[in-house]
A and B are shown apart, each in its own frame.
Chain A
């Protein structure tokens, strides 16, 4: 074991498995139901807070000047197969570990009162989910990655299926089947890569040159898996259903972290390992992404359910991410990464906003609301900020990623930039339309006349997200600095790989 990483101890493994330990403790709690619930809540909160505090080591100790993997840990696992337990983060993944550890305590706090049944199991599932997410972003061995990647499905499936809304079983199964179908193909790709490279070590695979024809098939296999997770059009329909039925905290994690898994996969596997296929398939990805942006923005405009609207807006925002990734230039990828982070914060916050009124009125129907500004000024202010961030107002988190992707896309094509940015207009339309129907207008319904503004607990949930949204908007370079070196290296390697392929083609061709 190589324990001599920057932290001086196996930090990433600790971050990954500490939640599991917390979960185990929770499952051992015995006693009367109310006591169990309270203990489970507090244990989960403390566990996640400690994990978050530990993860801050990454923020302070990560060497931003290096494009290499850091905090690396490696233990031989199945040496005869070339498979090791290997963890580590680079600029691409480090902030997603932090995003995961930051969102989990907020989610636990947000579920404090809204989850009333099987609290212990809920908190356990949530901590297991945290283990899977952190492990997924930190894994540096394909097999380890695959296990975490698939492992995420199980607690999420339970969260939707057990604590979800009326159609939770349909939504949970749809979610499971869609994402699993893609994953099977990724398993095939894994086998093929292992077969070709003799190792499942991700840095090794990145250095391996796969033949262009092989790349094509590998790319398609990865694509099947990641496109569903992103989700890209037209395999996006599981998302609105999953969001609508999931409990608030589930939606937050789903939008905040799980949607990033697909895009992360593209960045970790498809682009660096399969440069020729990336270049070959980029136009297809652009086309699908542009359709996603315009199509799902329009669909969002027609929604009558708050959560569905935000879910569709997520698909549109992730379309911007996939455009950025496949431009494979620094602004595009950097913008995509930023958009992933900011979407994690902002859409998570928007789902929390829905959760606030859902807890009070138990409805997500937009038409059931109106005029909340009178009774809930603090809520209205927070909702306005997150709406504006979602719309991409400069000075908020949402702008930076969108604009960098716009610049990156412009380098590829004017049309890609124009069509990919249609979300600027349509996004403004559907978010403001939503805001108007929920917050503005006069209060007409009796049940809204006594609705309460944010409670101190809710303010505690929103305050960090408000600060993050503004911080990311006003001083985004404190985030981009983490991945600048990695992105630069990735783009350079991509350009070099394409050049060598075309040189090779030149040699072979007469």
Chain B
């Protein structure tokens, strides 16, 4: 009951705000949605505590039938186990803080429109909660698409801005490409297992070990194909290399939206899916190697791009992309627990960073370019401190949360032998260095040095109100505490006690044990890389502020390559978007209008000519007509008898 309340309270808030927002006004809509969220957070956290520490038993709460056709039956049901309870607690807690923060952040918006924003925020949270509590893949897909819709609405919240509309559509459509893979994966699971409820699938994993499926001219183990298809879905939602292009653009939405997308909801869905489907994925080693490979490549790719970006939100956006890569490295090597752990800590410090960035933007009169910031740390010391905490956690500095989770990911990658795992390890190490570097580049350029904004903006720099800073401080507490409090429970000796049966590790998978026995240098290296990244950024941006520009000039090609995000957008525009649009136009103008319509119109003109001759046959005598009809019938019947 607690659990169901946690899931549906945000929906209720959202609906009230959506349907009556205009009448009850912004204040009431904010109150309603925030009350809904607070109730959800209390219930969600209680449900989590009750399950993990209070001895409540996991179970399934059935709500009703959804889709049913023949042997394909799906119910609306909430799955209550450690994995879903952890996610619910995290999502409701962070989303509540983001709601509260938004009251301050959106206070400059025109009155009478903000209710829409809060309704969408709660809808977003609800969709994510449905996703993580799903008891079957179709309901997970419901949440999956629901967060897609909510993100579309929120990214496009400022719908009068063309760039926001474009980003919103891009997010939805790119996600849909992944979703198609996911949907096909669900269909294949149904074909193989005959069910798509988690209990049904997991119970039958043993029986279908050696099932095969033929596709693309080859025959593969069905589990491998399932793994790849599901991961394609995860790539879309979690912005992995290839389908990542929507995420950086998604910052077109108001900053709290970015925090919600990047931290609590949406992008973590793919990682969650990997953990949720671990009982099947454990037996798909090739698919999992692919997961590690893509995750590692994303981690490194996004970090390189983050190094040269100038938009404060864009840098953080790429860091999300990169950190998600880490989570997939861990999932790919079978350390799902480590990936969920990184997901949790990341949720706190990434929400902190985005909301902190929002506070900066708020202070700087909506300036987002860090080249036009600087010298403001004394004016907004609290925001400055919060950004420090977030960055320390992101860079993986002891004892902040990121230190524990990033180390865990990399140790798992090292401990899991295999070429892809090692590729993951080294990509992760390099990315750790770059992450620390761009984080401090951001900090220094934003807060230190000589002010580069105009005097008018500088005069208005002010610390944000309490309604914004209190959520920041709570998130900062999370970014400090979640690491060392949860690491022993989630990954320590008694991890089985914590996770119960919610995540499955196959009998061949000892990574959770082995990761604690890696050599000392493996443990130390990520932290060393992080600290040297910080040191380098400090040396360059504090010591030699002219150097970056010289470097950019010297290595102009590389610089532009990174600045333009490896030219992914341009490439996709050339090979997908434009050809599709021109194909669309030519199919319409040539295919439909000329060819397909050409034939009947041609026939019509032939008929018109023929009709001229037929007119002569038309004598007006009924006898003639009757005779003609008779001939017709005879001909038809003969044809029929002949072909029979």
Contacts and interface: CB of A to CB of B under 8 A. Distances in A.
Contact of B159 (A236, A441, A484): A441
A217 interface: yes
B176 A475 contact: no
A324 B148 CA distance: 26
Contact of A481 (B68, B138, B591): B68
B179 A404 contact: no
A394 B141 contact: yes
B581 A440 contact: no
A424 B165 contact: no
Given A301-B581, A303-B588, A403-B67, A425 B173 contact: yes
Contacts of B184: 406, 410, 414, 417-418, 421
Contact of A403 (B165, B183, B581): B183
Q: Is the interface of B mostly helix, strand, loop or mixed?
A: helix
A421 B180 contact: yes
A403 B138 contact: yes
Nearest to A214: B644
B607 to A, nearest CB: 10
Dominant SS at the A interface?
Answer: helix
B188 A410 contact: yes
A176 interface: no
A303 B141 CA distance: 31
Given A425-B173, A484-B70, A407 B187 contact: yes
A487 B70 contact: yes
Interface in B144-175: 145-146, 148-149, 152, 156, 159-160, 162, 165, 168-169, 172-173
A280 B159 CA distance: 51
A404 B67 contact: yes
Contact of B162 (A192, A237, A422, A441): A441
Contact of A237 (B138, B183, B580, B592): B592
A299 B592 contact: yes
Contact of A295 (B183, B191, B591, B604): B591
B581 A432 contact: no
A499 interface: no
A403 B184 CA distance: 9
B411 to A, nearest CB: 38
Contacts of B71: 330
A410 B187 contact: yes
A421 B141 CA distance: 15
Contact of B145 (A214, A394, A406): A394
Interface in B407-434: none
Interface in A476-491: 476-477, 480-481, 484, 487-488, 491
A393 B175 CA distance: 13
A303 B640 CA distance: 44
Contacts of A404: 67, 69, 72
Nearest to B18: A381
A334 B67 CA distance: 11
B70 A428 contact: no
A373 B159 contact: yes
A429 B591 CA distance: 21
A381 B15 CA distance: 13
Given A178-B600, A299-B588, A424 B159 contact: no
A331 interface: yes
Nearest to B577: A429
A484 B68 contact: yes
B619 interface: no
Most chain B C-beta atoms within 10 Å of own C-beta, residue among A188, A214, A425 = A425
A475 B68 contact: no
Nearest to A384: B153
Given A406-B184, A421-B180, A432 B169 contact: yes
Given A331-B72, A440-B156, A441-B159, A407 B146 contact: no
7 contacts: A301-B580, A330-B69, A394-B141, A417-B184, A424-B183, A429-B173, A441-B165
Given A217-B643, A425-B173, 4 more contacts: A436-B165, A436-B168, A484-B69, A487-B69
